[in-house]
């Protein structure tokens, strides 16, 4: 069974992501301090909202360094929404610095017909990756955000989504993976993506998402 540390930085709904991973056969540990990362085979950083308070809470718990170290050691990381945005150098939202593990900045979706970008939208893949194995090429996923990361290196982009402008809705750089949408809120396809992530972990063998179903 894959042991996954779900990082709790105080924002957002952890119940859904923890339960989604458990339903797929993952063993979830809620990580509030560096010691909680020990023994984890993968890291999931969820969250919604602004970067600055999340970075403050991570720093206060010394989790910013611990996460960077764990990623440096090769542990697979899945950032969801804010958990993806935190990987960049910084955010225009409140001027907050990020973990700096992906080059680029988080910018507002200017010109979008609606902000926040809230609802289901097509995630159009630009290259193949095991994270999306078995999922339709432009399957819709659930988004809730107004800002999105702009990677300096277009090579890290896995998928893009159109809302006001075309933005990177999924990225992969080695063991660092991130999605701007919420797989834990995206029904069957979302669960399939999380199952694929568990499958990437050392010794991980996720239960097929179809067994858990969308409901």
Contacting residues toward another protein, per CB under 8 A: 11-16, 19-20, 48-50, 53, 112-122, 140, 142, 144-146, 162-163, 182, 184-188, 190-191, 213-215
What is the rounded CA–CA span in Å between residue 172 and residue 165?
20
Distance in Å, CB of 95 to another protein, minimum: 15
- Residue 111 Cβ vs another protein, minimum distance, rounded to whole Å: 11
Give the tokens for residue 181: 């949408």
According to DSSP, the β-strands at 42-45 and 77-80 are parallel
In the complex with another protein, the residue whose CB is nearer, 111 or 203, is 111
Report the residue number, 176 or 187, with the smaller CB distance to another protein.
187
Among candidate residues 81, 93, 145, 163, the one labeled active-site is 81
Residue-wise DSSP of 18-48: HHHHHHTT-EEEEESSGGGGTT-SEEEE---
Q: Of 1 and 11, which CB lies nearer to another protein in the complex structure?
A: 11
Q: What is the C-alpha to C-alpha distance for residues 69 and 74, in angstroms, rounded to an integer?
A: 9
User: Residue 93 catalytic?
Assistant: no
Active site residue 184: yes
Q: Looking at residue 182, what DSSP letter applies? A: -
Q: Catalogue the active-site residues.
A: 81, 182, 184
């Amino acid at each position: 069974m894959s042991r996954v540390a779900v990082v709790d930085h105080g924002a957002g709904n952890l119940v859904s992501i923890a339960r989604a991973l458990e339903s797929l056969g993952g063993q979830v540990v809620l990580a509030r301090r560096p010691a909680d990362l020990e023994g984890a085979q993968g890291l999931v950083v969820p969250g919604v909202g602004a970067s600055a308070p999340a970075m403050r809470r991570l720093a206060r718990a010394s989790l910013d360094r611990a996460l960077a170290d764990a990623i440096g050691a090769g542990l697979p990381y899945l950032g969801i929404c804010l958990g993806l945005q935190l990987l960049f150098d910084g955010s225009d939202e409140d001027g907050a610095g990020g973990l700096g593990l992906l080059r680029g900045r988080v910018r507002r979706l200017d010109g979008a017909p609606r902000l926040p970008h809230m609802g289901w939208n097509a995630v159009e893949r630009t290259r193949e990756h095991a994270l999306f194995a078995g999922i339709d090429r432009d399957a819709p996923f659930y988004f809730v955000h107004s800002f999105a990361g702009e990677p300096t290196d277009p090579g890290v982009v896995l998928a893009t989504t159109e809302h006001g402008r075309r933005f990177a809705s999924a990225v992969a750089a080695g063991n660092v993976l991130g999605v701007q949408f919420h797989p834990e809120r995206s029904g069957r396809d979302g669960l399939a993506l999380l199952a694929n992530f568990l499958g990437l972990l050392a010794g991980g063998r996720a239960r097929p998402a179809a067994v858990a179903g969308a409901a």
